[in-house]
């Protein structure tokens, strides 16, 4: 049943969310619910096809095109759905100018913000996410990219020298012996390209090749040695690289065309402000951002839980990052993040279990849903630690994000519930309570089915996550 009391998340709304989290996902209505007097909810209602109960599932979303298609990253958002919400935010609040995604990942919100003519700021702890976002930010020099690609491929194919291959932990375990010299040669010639914007695109292309040619199983984001099939061919790294470069040329031309049609490019450069920072958003959304409350719209999807037991973004990115010049992403990238296969994951939300009991006490004191869930986990020491560490960190992130949001600014959080020790973790009720505590009040939600198409998503974790919620909220008008 739809609850009319969404404005300023009443206790009843929170209770209903706790109850909803424990219903079988299939039974839940997948519709927009919310405070109809709020201008954003009204704008979203106006777009909804009332005759189509699966409207918000976005089953009709077509294949990724343009910049959205440059990298396949775990748990990407549906671009057209986020785009529709962004459009409704603009319609209901025409002065919206600046968007923040503090867990930006591959940059779905970045590309949508560009398509809507908005300024954008992104943060992610994973350097691969930083690279993807910077490559997607442009400039879009179509002819120059074709020329530079041609020069690069010619340089690679005419180079008969043997380059000293770089050393890193696990290199010979994860790469075929014939692939290593080819990866090194490609990497060497990308480093020689003088333009940083082109190098970033080439590095991203190489990252894709590393993922497809390495010896890790493609059906999981974790690093797991793939079983060698009889008569399996040695991966042809050069052929793969050429293929990806051609794909990139098409996608970049598509994005260029789309942005040009909207008058959003000036000589190939996006006309708005784009800013990408690599690091922990708890420290990067620093006091200066918070003091000035700069963001009109926060649109984001945090991880589902700690990276160790949910999606290991760091492991997924470890091999590609060993082969590229990381200073091309940002000279300030902390190299400790890529020191081993676990370093990014342990630096991410919930990655450190130290002090977990104190964190559990603190969460339990402040949030009813935490207290309830920790009670259910009372005999599960590890589950309690994971729950407490993740939500404690998320709460700290929300504090900085809320402070950096302008008064009356909008938040759109795409979140999914997950299981801990066989129990549904109360992600939605926790988010409602945590946002509320930081002066950001829920105005509605969209609940939708997730359609996994990629093999890598069909793992045990994905099987437990069949739906996600987009929580819509608004910051107090009185507080900054
Ligand atoms: C669900 S993914 C975001 C996917 C993105 N919306 C997209 O469409 O590609 C969550 C992201 O949060 C990042 N992350 C985890 N902990 C973080 C932290 N403390 N600070 C910044 N980013 C973090 C992960 O690296 C990951 O890229």
Q: Kindly tell me if the per-residue pLDDT of 316 is higher than 70.
A: yes
Q: Find the mean pLDDT for residues 77-95.
A: 96
Which atom of ligand 1 lies nearest, measured to the CA of 108? Answer: 8
Q: Which is nearest to 469 in space by CA: 30, 11, 3, 5?
A: 30
What value, to the nearest 5°, has the Cα angle with vertex 343 and ends 322 and 193? Answer: 25
What separation in Å is there between the alpha carbon of 303 and the centre of ligand 1? 6
Residue 352: partners with Cβ closer than 8 Å, 6 or more residues away = 346, 389
| Nearest Cα residue to atom 5 of ligand 1 | 105
Ligand 1 atom 13: residue of nearest CA: 103
Which has the closest alpha carbon to 341: 225, 171, 223, 173?
223
- What is the pLDDT confidence band of residue 226, given thresholds at 50, 70 and 90? confident
Q: Which residues contact 1 (CB under 8 A, 6 or more apart)?
A: none
- β-pairing, 295-300 vs 440-449, is unpaired
Q: Is a pLDDT exceeding 90 seen at residue 56?
A: no
pLDDT of residue 29: 47
Q: 1 falls in which pLDDT band (50, 70, 90)?
A: very low
* Cα 241 to Cα 222: distance, rounded to the nearest angstrom: 23
- Say if domain 11-127+270-313+342-475 classifies as CATH 3.40.50.720: no
Q: What is the DSSP letter of 124?
A: E
Cβ atoms of 61 and 91 within 8 Å: the answer is: no
**Rg of the chain taking only CA atoms, in angstroms:** 23
Report the pLDDT averaged over residues 329-340. Answer: 95
User: Do 21 and 417 contact (CB within 8 A), yes or no?
Assistant: yes
Percent of the chain with pLDDT over 70: 89
- Atom 17 in ligand 1: which residue has the minimum CA distance? 348
Residues written for the chain? 480
- Calculate the average pLDDT of the chain: 89
Q: How far is the CA of 302 from the centre of ligand 1 (A)?
A: 6
Helix (H) or strand (E) holding 142: helix 142-158
- Of residues 34 and 237, more confidence is placed in 237
Q: Shortest CA distance to 89 belongs to which of 411, 428, 442, 477? A: 411
Ligand 1 contacts (CB < 6 A) are 73, 75-77, 103, 105-106, 108, 123-126, 129, 280-282, 301-303, 313, 348-349
- Residue 390 Cα to ligand 1 middle (Å): 13
43's tokens: 């704008």
Q: For 342-400, what is each residue's pLDDT tens digit?
A: 999 999 999 999 999 999 999 999 999 999 999 999 999 999 999 999 999 999 999 99
What ligand 1 atom has the least distance to the C-alpha of 73? 9
Q: What is the pLDDT of residues 143-157, one digit of tens each?
A: 999 999 999 999 999
- Ligand 1 mean position, distance from CA 424 (Å): 21
Of the candidates 98, 40, 63, 469, the one whose C-alpha atom is nearest the C-alpha of residue 289 is 98
- Predicted local confidence at residue 457, as pLDDT: 44
Q: How far is the CA of 132 from the centre of ligand 1 (A)?
A: 12
pLDDT of 375 reads 96
pLDDT at 23 over 90: no
Of the candidate ranges 60-69, 183-192, 206-215, the one whose mean pLDDT is the lowest = 60-69
Instruction: Among 100, 109, 313, name the best residue to mutate to test ligand 1's pocket (greatest count of ligand atoms within 8 A of Cβ).
Output: 313
Average pLDDT over residues 286-315: 87
What is the average per-residue pLDDT within 23-27?
47
User: In this structure, are residues 297 and 412 in contact, taking their beta carbons and an 8 Å threshold?
Assistant: yes
Rounded-to-integer distance, Cα 279 and Cα 283, Å:
8
| Alpha-carbon gap, residue 378 to 390, rounded angstroms | 17
Q: Which of 71, 79, 105 to mutate to test the pocket of ligand 1 (most atoms within 8 A of CB)?
A: 105
Task: Please choose, from the candidates 475, 470, 473, the residue with its C-alpha nearest in 3D space to the C-alpha of residue 405.
Answer: 475
CA 196 to centroid of ligand 1, rounded, Å: 24
Nearest CA to ligand 1 atom 3: 105
Q: With 50 as the cut, is the pLDDT of residue 27 above it?
A: no
Q: Which of 77, 103, 314, 396 for mutating ligand 1's site (highest number of atoms within 8 Å of CB)?
A: 103
Split at pLDDT 50, 70, 90, the class of 6 is very low
* pLDDT bucket at 478, cuts 50 / 70 / 90: confident
- Compute the distance from residue 77 Cα to the ligand 1 centre, in Å: 11
Ligand 1 centroid to residue 66 C-alpha, Å:
21
Query: DSSP assignment, residue 456?
Result: G
Residue with the bigger pLDDT between 231 and 127: it is 127
Residue corresponding to tokens 């990407």: 76
In the block, which residue shows the tokens 């940002």? 330
Interval 402-422 mean pLDDT: 93
Q: For residue 3, is pLDDT > 70?
A: no
pLDDT in the model for residue 465: 56
CA gap 124, 109 in Å, rounded:
13
For residue 31, is pLDDT > 80? no
pTM, two decimal places: 0.92
Mutate to test the pocket of ligand 1, among 78, 129, 461 (most ligand atoms within 8 A of CB): 129
Summarised one tens digit per residue, pLDDT across range 100-110 is 999 999 999 99
pLDDT higher than 80, residue 315: yes
Closest residue by Cα to atom 4, ligand 1, is 105
Among 58, 80, 104, which residue has the most ligand 1 atoms within 8 Å of its CB, making it the best to mutate?
104
SS3 318: helix
Instruction: Tell me which H or E stretch contains 205.
Output: helix 196-213
Q: How far is the CA of 37 from the centre of ligand 1 (A)?
A: 32
Helix axes 179-191, 237-261, angle to 10 degrees: 40
Dihedral (Cα; 385, 391, 395, 401), 10-degree rounding: 130
Out of 19-33, 70-84, 393-407, pick the least confident.
19-33
Whole-number pLDDT of residue 16: 63
Q: How much is the pLDDT for 463?
A: 47
Q: Is the dihedral of CA 124, 128, 129, 134 positive or negative?
A: positive
Q: What is the pLDDT of residue 5?
A: 42
């Amino acid at each position: 049943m739809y609850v009319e009391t969404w404005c300023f998340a009443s206790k009843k709304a929170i209770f209903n969310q706790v109850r909803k989290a424990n219903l079988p996902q299939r039974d839940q209505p997948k519709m927009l619910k919310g405070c109809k007097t709020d201008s954003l909810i009204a704008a979203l209602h106006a777009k909804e096809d009332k005759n189509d109960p699966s409207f918000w599932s976005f089953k009709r979303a077509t294949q990724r095109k343009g910049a959205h298609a440059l990298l396949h990253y775990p748990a990407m958002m549906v671009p057209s759905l986020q785009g529709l919400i962004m459009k409704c935010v603009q319609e209901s609040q025409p002065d919206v100018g600046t968007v923040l995604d503090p867990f930006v990942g591959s940059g779905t919100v970045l590309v949508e913000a560009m398509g809507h003519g908005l300024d954008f700021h992104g943060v992610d702890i994973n350097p691969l996410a930083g690279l993807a976002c910077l490559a997607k930010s442009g400039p879009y020099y179509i002819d120059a990219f074709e020329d530079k690609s041609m020069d690069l491929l010619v340089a690679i194919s005419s180079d008969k020298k043997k380059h000293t291959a770089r050393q890193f932990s696990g290199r010979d375990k994860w790469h075929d012996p014939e692939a290593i010299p080819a990866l090194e040669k490609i990497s060497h010639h990308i480093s020689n390209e003088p333009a940083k914007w082109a190098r970033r695109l080439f590095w991203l292309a190489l990252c894709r090749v590393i993922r497809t040619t390495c010896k890790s199983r493609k059906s999981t984001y974790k690093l797991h040695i793939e079983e060698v099939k009889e008569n399996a061919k040695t991966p042809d790294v050069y052929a793969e690289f050429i293929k990806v470069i051609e794909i990139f040329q098409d996608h970049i031309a598509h994005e260029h065309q789309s942005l040009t049609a909207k008058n959003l490019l000036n000589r190939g450069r996006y006309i708005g402000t784009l800013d990408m920072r690599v690091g922990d958003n708890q420290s990067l959304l620093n006091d200066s951002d918070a003091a000035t409350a700069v963001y009109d719209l926060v649109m984001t999807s945090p991880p589902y839980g700690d990276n160790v037991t949910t999606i290991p973004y760091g492991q997924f990115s470890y091999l590609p990052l060993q082969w590229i010049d990381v200073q091309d992403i940002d000279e300030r990238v902390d190299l400790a993040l890529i020191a081993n296969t676990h370093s990014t994951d342990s630096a991410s939300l919930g990655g450190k279990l130290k002090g977990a009991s104190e964190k559990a006490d603190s969460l339990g004191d402040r949030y009813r849903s935490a207290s309830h869930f920790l009670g259910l986990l009372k005999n599960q020491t590890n589950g309690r630690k994971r729950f407490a560490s993740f939500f404690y960190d998320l709460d700290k992130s929300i504090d900085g994000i809320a402070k950096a949001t302008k008064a009356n600014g909008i938040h759109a959080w795409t979140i999914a519930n997950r299981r801990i020790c066989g129990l549904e973790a109360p992600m939605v009720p926790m988010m409602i309570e945590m946002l509320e505590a930081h002066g950001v009040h829920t105005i509605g939600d969209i609940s939708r089915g997730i359609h996994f198409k990629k093999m890598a998503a069909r793992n045990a974790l994905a099987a437990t996550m069949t739906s996600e919620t987009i929580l819509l909220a608004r910051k107090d008008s009185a507080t900054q």
